């Protein structure tokens, strides 16, 4: 008799739960990490590197399945296959009932793409996967160059640390009462925020316009205003959104959703989701629309939101909703509907989004092989994703609309300040 292997499965962590319910053709909840090299990608070596990488990331073999009450991850023995890029950027990955991996690896000329369904991992988690993949690719591709000494690259966590559900570890969420939450006096009143309108692209594609520039130059500009790069880009984005909007909406506040990497606040090495979001806004109705003032306002918001206290409170709330008995016993299809509804409501308070996954570090010796990294994502609203490698800062602007006024204003502002920008666009 064959030996029975017990079926391995895992629950979705708190942040992942929203993604299967709300993904669709309009917003696939897929994001892409790309690494551009100086030479064409060798598909066979990339496949070899991917096979090695998979051993370090067993969780990436998961497929997503539907239970009666919740979705769950189930381990599979599927092997990811490297393909030449042939789909639109951030094409759907998770489709109901289809048993496929939740990420794909492709290449095009000299670029390696890793596209990931957000339920599997957040940007930081995916970046570790990407770095491991690129490390092994370059190590294999340039064996002769590294004949004497292979540059060191340590996995930064054990396998079990990588698979950790850090939400469950840090947030109990039991002491909060849902009913009390409902009439919380501190709750922010929902005001009408500005929403970008435009002509949707055919087949719900995403328009990615990526500007790459020198990190030093961009940082220099941000420091002139005495703020960090994230604050500067967020403020400039708000400014560009404001400048291009129709007059009748001029008084509505512009609000950005900004993800926070919780690994910076709570000790965790998970490659799964461990992030939260905050809303950064600027009330144009009441304040001046001078760029200097916008930057001050945004900077203040960042400082206010980014405290362990406010994070703790928010996450415990989310956790208590998840752990509530009533939420748990609602069958999955109803959960899907309520989550979709809740996310629509939340979207009303948001104009656009900004993500910064920061500086990407790889061994020094790799600098002559890697041109730049970039990050972009599917977009139900305009979304800016930032990352940097070496002295290359990549600012990717994803949008579901044909119009490019906001992008133009955004990049023109930078080029007028004397920053040399290289624009890449997918459409």
Partner 1 sequence: MQYCSHCQVRIRGNKKDCPLCGNILPGDNGACGQQEIYPVVPPFYERHLALRIMIFVSVVALVVSFMVYALFPSTINWPVFALFGLISMWLSLIIVIKKRHHITKNIMWQVTILSFLSVVWDWGTGWRGWSLDFVVPILFVSAMFVLYVTAKIMKLRARDYITYFLLDGLLGIIPVIFLLFDWIHVLYPSVISVAISIIFLSAILIFQGENIKAELAKRMHI
Q: Which residues bind partner 1 (CB under 8 A)?
A: 4, 6-7, 9, 11, 67-70, 72, 74, 84-89, 95-99, 108-111, 202-203, 209, 211, 328-329, 404, 407-408, 411-412, 415-416, 420-427
Nearer to partner 1, 111 or 380 (CB): 111
Alpha carbon distance 320, 263 (integer Å): 21
CA distance 27 to 123: 17
Q: Which is nearer to partner 1, 109 or 344 (CB)?
A: 109
For partner 1, which is the closer residue by CB, 84 or 348?
84
183 Cβ contact partners less than 8 Å away, ≥ 6 residues apart? none
Rounded distance between C-alpha atoms, residue 241 and residue 395, angstroms: 16
Identify which of residues 231 and 414 has a Cβ nearer to partner 1 in the complex: 414
3-state secondary structure of 323: helix
Q: Which is closer to partner 1, CB of 48 or CB of 403?
A: 403
Q: Kindly tell me which of 241 and 262 has the beta carbon lying closer to partner 1.
A: 241
Least CB distance to partner 1 at residue 234 (A)? 20
User: Residue 120 or residue 209: which is nearer to partner 1 going by CB?
Assistant: 209
User: What is the C-alpha separation between 102 and 374, in angstroms, rounded?
Assistant: 20
Residue 32 in tokens = 């892409």
Mapped onto helix, strand or coil, the DSSP state of residue 113 is strand
Calpha distance 353→380 (Å, rounded): 10
Tokens, residue 318? 């989310």
Contact between 310 and 206 under an 8 Å Cβ cutoff? The reply is: no
Smallest gap from residue 407 Cβ to partner 1 (A): 6
CB nearer to partner 1: give 68 or 182: 68
| CB 323 to partner 1: min, Å | 10
Query: Whole-number minimum distance, CB 103 to partner 1, in Å?
Result: 18
Q: Supply 9's token pair.
A: 């499965």
Length of the chain: 427
Cβ nearer to partner 1, comparing 177 with 420: 420
Question: DSSP secondary structure string, 131-176?
Answer: HHHHHHHHHHHTTTTTSS-PPP---SS-HHHHT--HHHHH----S-
Instruction: Please tell me the distance from the alpha carbon of residue 266 to that of residue 167, in angstroms, as a whole number.
Output: 10
Minimum CB–partner distance for residue 212 and partner 1 (Å)? 9
- Give the shortest CB-398-to-partner 1 separation in angstroms: 13
What's the closest the beta carbon of residue 99 comes to partner 1, in angstroms? 7
Q: What is the largest CA-CA distance in the chain?
A: 76
Q: How many CB atoms lie within 10 A of CB 236?
A: 25
Q: How far is the CB of 368 from partner 1 (least distance, A)?
A: 19
Task: Specify the DSSP class assigned to residue 425.
Answer: E
Contacts of 60 (CB under 8 A, 6+ apart): 54, 80, 101, 102, 103, 120, 121, 129
The least CB distance from residue 29 to partner 1, in Å, is: 19
What is the rounded distance in angstroms from the CA atom of residue 133 to the CA atom of residue 139?
10
């Amino acid at each position: 008799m064959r030996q029975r292997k017990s079926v391995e499965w895992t629950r979705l962590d708190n942040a992942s739960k929203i993604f299967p319910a709300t993904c669709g053709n309009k917003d696939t909840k897929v994001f892409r990490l790309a690494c551009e090299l100086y030479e064409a990608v060798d598909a066979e070596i990339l496949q070899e590197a991917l096979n090695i990488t998979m051993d370090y990331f067993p969780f990436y073999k998961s497929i997503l399945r539907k239970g009666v009450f919740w979705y769950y991850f189930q381990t599979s023995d599927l092997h990811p296959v490297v393909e030449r890029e042939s789909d639109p950027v951030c094409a759907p990955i998770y489709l109901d009932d289809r048993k496929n991996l939740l990420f794909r690896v492709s290449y095009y000329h000299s670029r390696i793409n890793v596209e990931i369904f957000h339920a599997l991992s957040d940007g930081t988690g995916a970046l570790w996967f990407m770095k491991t993949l690129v490390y092994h690719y370059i190590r294999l591709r340039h064996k002769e160059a590294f004949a004497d000494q292979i540059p060191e690259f340590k996995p930064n966590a054990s396998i079990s640390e990588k698979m950790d559900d850090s939400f469950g570890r840090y947030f109990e969420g039991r002491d909060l009462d849902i009913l009390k939450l409902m009439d919380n006096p501190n709750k922010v009143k929902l005001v009408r925020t500005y929403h970008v309108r435009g002509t949707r692209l055919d087949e719900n594609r995403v328009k990615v316009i990526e500007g790459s520039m020198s990190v030093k130059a961009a940082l220099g500009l941000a420091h002139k205003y005495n703020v960090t790069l994230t604050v500067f880009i967020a403020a400039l984005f708000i400014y560009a959104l404001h400048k291009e909007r129709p007059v009748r909406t001029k008084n509505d506040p512009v609000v950005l959703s900004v993800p926070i990497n919780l690994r910076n606040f709570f000790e965790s090495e998970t490659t799964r989701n461990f992030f939260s979001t905050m809303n950064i806004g600027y009330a144009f109705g009441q304040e001046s629309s001078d760029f200097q003032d916008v930057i001050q306002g945004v900077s203040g918001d960042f400082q206010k939101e980014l405290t362990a206290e406010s994070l703790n409170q928010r996450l415990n709330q989310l956790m208590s909703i998840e752990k509530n008995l009533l939420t748990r016993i609602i069958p999955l299809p109803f959960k899907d509907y309520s989550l979709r509804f809740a996310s629509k409501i939340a979207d009303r308070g948001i104009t656009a989004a900004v993500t910064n996954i920061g500086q990407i570090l790889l061994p020094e010796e790799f600098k002559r092989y890697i041109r730049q990294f970039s990050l972009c994502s599917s977009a139900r609203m305009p979304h800016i994703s930032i990352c940097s490698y070496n002295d290359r800062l990549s600012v990717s602007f994803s949008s579901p609309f044909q119009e490019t006024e906001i992008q133009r204003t955004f990049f023109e502002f930078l080029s007028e300040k004397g920053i040399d920008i290289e624009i890449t666009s997918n459409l």
